[in-house]
Amino acid sequence: MDEDEFKHYMDAARVAAGVRTVAEECVKPGAKLFDIATAIEAEVAKEGGKNAFPVNISINGTAAHYTPCMGDESVVGEKDVVKIDFGVHVEGCIIDQAFTVDFGGEHGKLVEAADAALADGLAVMKAGVSVKEVGAAIQNAITSRGFKPIENLGGHSLEPYILHAGEEIPNTARGSYVLQEGDAFAIEPFATTGAGRVDEGTYCEIHSLVNPKPVRLPQSRRVLEHILEEYRTLPFAKRWLAEMLSTSSIELVVNDLVRQGILHSYGVLKEVNNGFVAQSEVTVIVEKGGVKNLC
């Protein structure tokens, strides 16, 4: 990581700190998910950063990838377990962080398990350590508290404008990658009362560019040009295109680009037994003797 990248990470971390405060304040029972997401995303811009991906608001047995669509009237319930996952980038350098709130007070130990797993995982991370060792620490912290880690979710390496850059911090004791000094990683334990796996559902509001190529339809071409300029390879929400097209046109264009293999779809991820899920996440830079926590 060169000096410019490091500076951009530090700038993104500063923005994310301010955004986190707003996120914690606006998540409350009765609040519309659409209002929460747009408030957090607006705060990113206000603080001088850009959204690295749409705000995820995943409730109860939903683990990830739920962001509200246009017209979404869903609200936070009084007993919901709510996960807020947001990302900030400066010149492509991404801060990815998440937290969980248990409004009903019935799943506090589950939230504690995810938080403890994050702390234990961070404690063993340093240059020269295998991700398997980090995953073992995460797994032990969760299982020792009576819950299960979600085995097919995990943290991920970060590179400029690449949210998932190829290497994983697993939630279980597996993997062979050895951490290197200067690596940027999002580490995000998921703990559940369920079976410990997620499946992809049908709801999908989030997409990303994976294979840009010429397209025939004028509307699709205009949207593709916008994606290339504004988001590059970072995930975006269909609702972010509302100023360009009507809702029906957005669906037609996005479906066209998905069909051609130009866009990748992120379907909502749900725990297979509908168990409650808690998540805790920070972004770090790996150092010789540990990690620099950017959140």
Residues 73, 252 contacting (CB under 8 angstroms): no
Strand arrangement, sheet containing 81-90: 50-59, 81-90, 93-102
Check if 3-201+273-293 and 206-266 are the same fold: no
Residue 216 CB coordination number (10 Å): 8
Element containing residue 93 per DSSP (H, E): strand 93-102
Q: Which residues contact 273 (CB under 8 A, 6 or more apart)?
A: 194, 195
Instruction: Note if 188 is an active site residue.
Output: yes
d(Cα 292, Cα 283) in Å, to the nearest integer?
A: 9
Query: How wide is the angle at C-alpha 26 spanned by C-alphas 20 and 30, nearest 5°?
Result: 150
How many Å separate Cα 199 from the centre of its chain? 16
Query: How wide is the angle at C-alpha 69 spanned by C-alphas 74 and 202, nearest 5°?
Result: 90
d(Cα 60, Cα 260) in Å, to the nearest integer?
A: 34
Residues 3, 42 contacting (CB under 8 angstroms): no
Residues 283, 14 contacting (CB under 8 angstroms): no
d(Cα 32, Cα 35) in Å, to the nearest integer?
A: 5
Q: Mean pLDDT per segment of 10 residues, for the chain of length 295 residues?
A: 93 97 96 98 97 98 98 97 98 98 97 98 98 98 98 97 96 98 98 98 97 94 96 97 93 96 98 98 98 96
Instruction: Note if 164 is an active site residue.
Output: yes
Q: How many helices and strands in the chain, by DSSP H and E?
A: 6, 17
Bridge partners of residue 209, in order along the sequence? 263
Instruction: Note if 225 is an active site residue.
Output: no
Q: Return the CATH architecture of domain 3-201+273-293.
A: Alpha-Beta Complex (3.90)
| Active-site residue identified among 11, 43, 80, 85 | 85
Residue 1 has a pLDDT of: 79
pTM of the model: 0.95
- CATH number for 206-266: choose from 3.40.50.2000, 1.10.1040.10, 1.10.10.10, 3.20.20.140: 1.10.10.10
d(Cα 189, Cα 119) in Å, to the nearest integer?
A: 10
Instruction: Note if 229 is an active site residue.
Output: no
| Active-site residue identified among 65, 89, 156, 207 | 156
Conformational region of residue 104, where left means phi above 0, alpha means psi within -120 to 50, and beta covers everything else: alpha
Domain ranges of the chain: 3-201+273-293, 206-266
| Active-site residue identified among 133, 151, 159, 164 | 164
| Active-site residue identified among 11, 96, 120, 205 | 96
d(Cα 76, Cα 29) in Å, to the nearest integer?
A: 5
> Tell me, what amino acid is at 54?
P
Residue 293 CB coordination number (10 Å): 13
Structure tokens at 137: 């620490």
Instruction: Note if 8 is an active site residue.
Output: no
Instruction: Note if 85 is an active site residue.
Output: yes
